[in-house]
Chains A and B, each alone.
Chain A
Amino acid sequence: MAEVHLEKVVKKYGELEVVHGIDLDIGHNEFVVFVGPSGCGKSTTLRMIAGLENISGGNIRIGDRVVNDLPPRARNISMVFQNYALYPHMSVRENLGFSLKIAGKDKAEIEAAVDEAAAILSLTPLLDRKPGELSGGQRQRVAMGRAIVRHPDVFLFDEPLSNLDAKLRTQMRVEIKKLHRKIKTTIIYVTHDQVEAMTLADRIVIMRNGSIEQQGTPLEVFANPVSTFVATFIGSPPMNLIDGVVKGGQVVFSDGTSLPVPPRYSAAEGQRVQYGVRADNIMPIGHALPPEEHMAELDMTVSLSEPLGTETILFGEISDTEIQAKMLNPRPVEPGETMRFQITLDKCHLFDAESGVSLRT
């Protein structure tokens, strides 16, 4: 249980700066998820917090201590690695108890802690096996068990689920969330999977090219992305973005169709913009949610449909841009069919075309 503060943290490899002055405050028992595309500096930041990578500038505080120059062992953290990094020459029991043994705890105490962790993660029947004799999911749990036995101040996870198959990943995701409930600890979790980020996080930190692009609760970043980068990264399917020009309160697209500037957004007359609308907010009339206050309508020809059961994703085009729309209570749709769609303007977004920055007021 501790707060973690990053102040202007910089990481350079020689001349190359890969993390550019990150500021971040993480509260007690908060579950923070770093998410971003490959190579954006998530692992590097996490490893700096762990002490596995020294920092080139700024400060890192854990609790009330500045830990900049402390080795990992003095930071009271634990970490789960992407490839688990279990000690292959030790049994599961020894793997779990290793940190306590190093700390010089007596046998009875180690045994009690190992049994407790094993019970939490249902590892008890596997305690006498070697890591080589476990399945991927079991190894994953051992890695988590090794992290929890010491009751660290902070848990660090670096893409712990990326080596598991889809089903197991969903299952472990739930287990991690439950674990956080059970053992209330600050968790910093790295992933490039936005679904994992949305489902696990108290707070999402979206990183891009070594800087923080946006942070907030999953619902905040989903509802109010500060840029097209966040808008397309968070949410599935990604937000539709249509190029247009602002004319008299309308955004006019290249094919002549137009939509009103969404409420709470403002843009200068003649400004080049990108109009953002999620699939959930563009639905064929008759197969949509009940209309809200600000609505718009337009026709679109469906070129492809992907039935998912309770809903169907419809593909169409507005001014040469591919659009994904969602259809509730689906019926079969023939490609080429033109349908009338309703658009929930309250949930639409407007971004500057050049910078990609949100034009929300």
Chain B
Amino acid sequence: MDANRSHRLRAHGLKLAHLMTLFVAMSIICLPGLWIVLNSFRPTVEIMAKPPIWIPNDLNFDNYRAMFAGAGEGGVPVVTYFMNSLIISVTSTAIAILVGMAGGYAFARYRFRGKSAIFVGLMVTRAVPGVALSLPLFIVYARIGIIDTHFGMILTYVAMNVPFTIWLIDGFFRQVPKELAEAAEIDGCTRWQAFWRVEFPVARAGIASAGIFAFLTSWNEYALASQLTRSVTSKTMPVGLLDFTSEFTLNWGGMCALAVLMIIPALVLTFLVQKHLIAGLTFGGVKG
């Protein structure tokens, strides 16, 4: 009886410690984000105050109002930037996922010459830091005239994301037993139908996570975008943040407001897809 009670107490104690540690860790991780959200509602004086003001005493929407105001009144073309970001991220993600699915499936299911060499090659491309590519890319793009275009940015992000999506999706298709597709073929499907009606739905969760990943990479990318975009025709939101800097001043409040606008879609997307991520990988079609 006593042994039982002390064990139960210990278990409770451990759980408490566990939760506390998690709380502290999460606070540290989330603090910068929360600080940004907070600052977006505060006037610059309060943001810059020394010592820092922890408890805000003047919250308002001034920064947002100013941001959406016309040019010359501290406004920036937020809507245009947002649309640029959206078009570029969504298109490049869609393409990266399609290519990733085709490539990942091939790597998972077929044997072909040079398979492992190609695979390693793909991974090596990820080892090159993006910034190192910015100058060569800039020169090439300038020559062929796709600098400062949506197309140029989409191309860049597709190239950046494809190796990763192939690698991730390959892993997910490997977990789908190949008998499933064979059973579907025997049930009357063509190879193509077997893929779309059986293998794809089973691997959907994995593909969705690869999609989130690719989307966030494109959505947040700054180093290359800052070089390859020039004007409102293609500037993305991360690059747009620089509009708040001028020669002598930094509009921290405005920056934070734009950053919040940037974070929201990413959060919403992750939230929408996470249900699939958790519910997805429940197999059970094969023995076990």
Are A102 and B287 in touch, CB under 8 angstroms? no
Are A99 and B201 in touch, CB under 8 angstroms? no
A85 and B286 in contact, given A72-B186, A73-B185 (Cβ under 8 angstroms) = yes
Q: How large is the interface on A (under 10, 10 to 19, 20 to 34, 35 or more residues)?
A: 20 to 34
Are B188 and A85 in touch, CB under 8 angstroms? no
CA distance A50 to B185 in the complex (A): 10
Q: Tell yes or no: A146 within 8 A of B by CB.
A: yes
Provide the residues of chain A in CB contact with B179, threshold 8 Å: 81, 83, 85
Are B185 and A87 in touch, CB under 8 angstroms? no
Q: CB < 8 Å: which of A83, A89, A133 contacts B201?
A: A89
CA distance A71 to B123 in the complex (A): 36
Q: Tell yes or no: A86 within 8 A of B by CB.
A: yes
Q: Tell yes or no: A40 within 8 A of B by CB.
A: no
Provide the residues of chain B in CB contact with A11, threshold 8 Å: none
B172-196 to A contact mask, C-beta < 8 Å, 1/0: 0000010110111111111001000
Provide the residues of chain B in CB contact with A89, threshold 8 Å: 198, 201-202, 285
Provide the residues of chain B in CB contact with A150, threshold 8 Å: 187-188
Provide the residues of chain A in CB contact with B198, threshold 8 Å: 87, 89
Are B188 and A84 in touch, CB under 8 angstroms? no
A99 and B187 in contact, given A81-B182, A88-B282, A133-B284 (Cβ under 8 angstroms) = yes
> Residues of B with Cβ closer than 8 Å to A?
177, 179-180, 182-190, 193, 197-198, 201-202, 282-287
Provide the residues of chain A in CB contact with B287, threshold 8 Å: 82-84, 136, 139, 163
Are A87 and B177 in touch, CB under 8 angstroms? no
CA distance A83 to B283 in the complex (A): 12
Are A85 and B183 in touch, CB under 8 angstroms? yes
Q: Tell yes or no: A117 within 8 A of B by CB.
A: no
Q: How far is the CB of A54 from chain B (nearest CB, A)?
A: 13
Interchain residue pairs A-B with the least CB separation, the first 3? A132-B284, A88-B285, A85-B179
CA distance A283 to B135 in the complex (A): 91
Provide the residues of chain B in CB contact with A132, threshold 8 Å: 282-285
A141-157 to B contact mask, C-beta < 8 Å, 1/0: 00000100010000000
Interface centre among B185, B187, B282, B287 (most CB of A within 10 A): B187
Provide the residues of chain A in CB contact with B177, threshold 8 Å: 83, 85
CA distance A130 to B187 in the complex (A): 18
Q: Tell yes or no: A78 within 8 A of B by CB.
A: yes
Are A102 and B183 in touch, CB under 8 angstroms? no
Provide the residues of chain A in CB contact with B190, threshold 8 Å: 71, 73
Q: CB < 8 Å: which of A85, A103, A133, A163 contacts B182?
A: A85
Q: Tell yes or no: A98 within 8 A of B by CB.
A: yes
Provide the residues of chain B in CB contact with A79, threshold 8 Å: 182-183, 186
Q: Tell yes or no: A52 within 8 A of B by CB.
A: yes
A76-106 to B contact mask, C-beta < 8 Å, 1/0: 0111011111111100000000110011000
**Least CB separation from B282: chain A residue:** A132
A52 and B193 in contact, given A99-B187, A132-B283 (Cβ under 8 angstroms) = no
A51-89 to B contact mask, C-beta < 8 Å, 1/0: 110000000000000000001110001110111111111
CA distance A84 to B285 in the complex (A): 7
Q: How far is the CB of A168 from chain B (nearest CB, A)?
A: 13
Q: How far is the CB of A50 from chain B (nearest CB, A)?
A: 6
Are A88 and B182 in touch, CB under 8 angstroms? no
CA distance A81 to B197 in the complex (A): 19
Interface centre among B182, B186, B201, B285 (most CB of A within 10 A): B186
CA distance A78 to B286 in the complex (A): 17
A73 and B286 in contact, given A52-B182, A85-B182 (Cβ under 8 angstroms) = no
Query: Besides the contacts A73-B190, A146-B183, what 19 more A-B pairs have beta carbons closer than 8 Å?
Result: A52-B185, A71-B190, A72-B182, A72-B186, A78-B187, A81-B179, A82-B287, A83-B177, A84-B287, A85-B179, A85-B180, A85-B182, A86-B286, A87-B184, A88-B202, A88-B286, A99-B187, A102-B188, A150-B187
Are B185 and A85 in touch, CB under 8 angstroms? no
CA distance A98 to B182 in the complex (A): 13
